[in-house]
Amino acid sequence: MQDPAASAARTLTIESVGAQGDGRARENGALVSVPFTLAGETVRVEGAGDRLKLLEVVSPSPDRIAPACRHFGACGGCTLQHMASAPYAEYKRDLILRVLKARGLEAEVPAAWITPPGSRRRAALAAKKSGKQVVLGFHARKSHELIALNECPVLRPAIVAALPRLREIAGFLLSGKDETGLLVTETAAGLDLHISGVAKGVKALARAEAASAALRAGFARVSIEGADVLTERRPSLPAGSAQLLPPPGGFLQASAEAEAHMAELVIDHLGDAPLVADLFSGSGTFALRLAARAGVYAAEGNTAAIDALKTSARAAHGLKPVTAEVRDLFRNPLAASELNRFGGIVLDPPRAGAAAQSHEIARSTVLRVAYVSCDPATLARDLRTLVDGGYRIVRIHPIDQFLWSAHVEAVALLEKPS
C-alpha cells in the first residue's frame, strides 16, 4: 500500500539532469526523477517512485526557456524543450562522456551537432478512435494515452500539413479500441506512408478507401503491414550521387541533415580505401555514398533492405561495385579472416549494438573503423572491445538527430596501427 505521506506535495532540489532527460533529486537518501526540470532548480512535486509529477518550479534555472510547442509536457515526444540551446548541446555531449568514463575509456568528444527544428523527415504516429473522433498523435509520457497532435516544431512542414489527411486515412482502418500505427516519411517523390497494426477484422473495402484517400491527398506510396498497396510515385531519398529506394516501412535515418553529416564523417575517415565493408547496412545509407569512391560489401539481416540496396545500386550511375548479402550479423558475424581484405569498415547496428561483430573486428587487421551508434551504452561496451583489441579512438562525434529528446547518436572513428 502506498504511503500517503510519500505522495503528498513537497519541495525538492534538482541536482542534475539524468540520461532519460529528467531532473534528478535526492529524497530520503535515494535518487528520484522529476520530469521537465533542470539542475539547480527548486521544485514542488507530488507522487511516489518513478511517477513523480511536477507541480511548480519554485526557483527556475537560468537555463530554463519557454518550450517551442503547445503540446510540450503532455506529448511524450519531447523531454527537453525547456532547456536553453548551449546547455542542451553540452548535455548531449555529456551523455557520451558518461558512458565512456563508466567503461574506463577516454576520447576526444567535440561539441554535439544539433539537428535544426522542422527537419525531421520521418514520424511514427499512432491513431485510435475516441467516440466518433479519430485521435492521431504521439503517446503521452509513460502512458498509452494518445495526445492529439495539432502542431510539431520538430517535424518537416509537409508532414505537419498532412495531419488532417492522416486522420482521415486512419479512420477507415480503425476498429473498436484497436490502435493503428502510421509511419510517414517525406521523400523526394512526396510522402511515403506505411500503416501497421491494422485489426484483422478490417475489410478489404476499408483498406481500399484508405488508399484512395491517400491518393487524393497526393501521397507517393501507401503500404500496409509491409505490402505495397498503392504506388503513385516511387519514393526515393538522395544518398550522395545515388538515390536510395526504401522498402515499405524500412529503417531510415530520421533527419536528412543528420544523415548527410554522419555520412561525411564516415567517408572522410575511411579515406581512400579501395574496398570497404558496410555492416548492418540497412537499405544503403552509407554503402551508396561510399560506392562513389570504393568497392563496397554490404551485409544486413533484413531481406527487404538488401533487395532495396541492390535495386538502388543498379539504378545509380558511376558507382564502384556493390555486393550486398542478407546475413544475421548477431548470430553470424563476419570473422576476422573475412574482414582482413577490407581497408575500412562502417557499422551501424541497432540499439543492441554489435558485441559479436566487434569481437571479430578487434581480432582483424582492418586499419579504420567508423562505428555509428544510436545507443551510447552499447557503443561504449563495443568500443571497450575494440580498444582492447588494439584500436585507438580518434574521435567520437555526438549527433543530435532527435531534437529535444534525451536520445543521442554518435559516430566513433577508430584506427589500428599498421
Instruction: State how far Cα 325 lies from the chain centre.
Output: 24
Examine the pLDDT at 217 and tell me if it is beyond 70.
Answer: yes
pLDDT bucket at 310, cuts 50 / 70 / 90:
very high
Residue 178 sits at φ, ψ, to 5 deg, of: -65, 150
pLDDT bucket at 200, cuts 50 / 70 / 90:
confident
In this structure, which amino acid lies at residue 151? E
What span, in angstroms and rounded, lies between the C-alpha atoms of 109 and 30? 31
Q: Please indicate whether residue 374 is annotated as part of the active site.
A: yes
Is residue 382 within 8 A of residue 355, CB to CB? The reply is yes
> Which of 123, 122, 202 shows the shortest CA–CA distance to 170?
202
Q: Look at the alpha carbons of 396, 335, 307, 375 in this order and tell me if their dihedral is positive or negative.
A: negative
Q: What is the pLDDT of residue 3?
A: 57
Q: What is the pLDDT of residue 5?
A: 56
pLDDT 10s digits, 242-280 = 999 999 999 999 999 999 999 999 999 999 999 999 999
Average pLDDT across the chain, whole number = 95
Q: Which of 69, 75, 152, 374 is catalytic?
A: 374
Q: Parallel, antiparallel, or unpaired: how do β-strands 190-196 and 133-139 relate? A: unpaired
Whole-structure pTM value: 0.94
Is residue 38 within 8 A of residue 22, CB to CB? The reply is no
What span, in angstroms and rounded, lies between the C-alpha atoms of 270 and 346? 8
Instruction: State how far Cα 262 lies from the chain centre.
Output: 13
pLDDT 10s digits, 319-359 = 999 999 999 999 999 999 999 999 999 999 999 999 999 99
Residue 87 sits at φ, ψ, to 5 deg, of: -65, -30
Q: What is the pLDDT of residue 29?
A: 86
Region 281-310: what's the mean pLDDT?
98
pLDDT 10s digits, 118-166 = 999 999 999 999 888 999 999 998 888 999 999 999 999 999 999 999 9
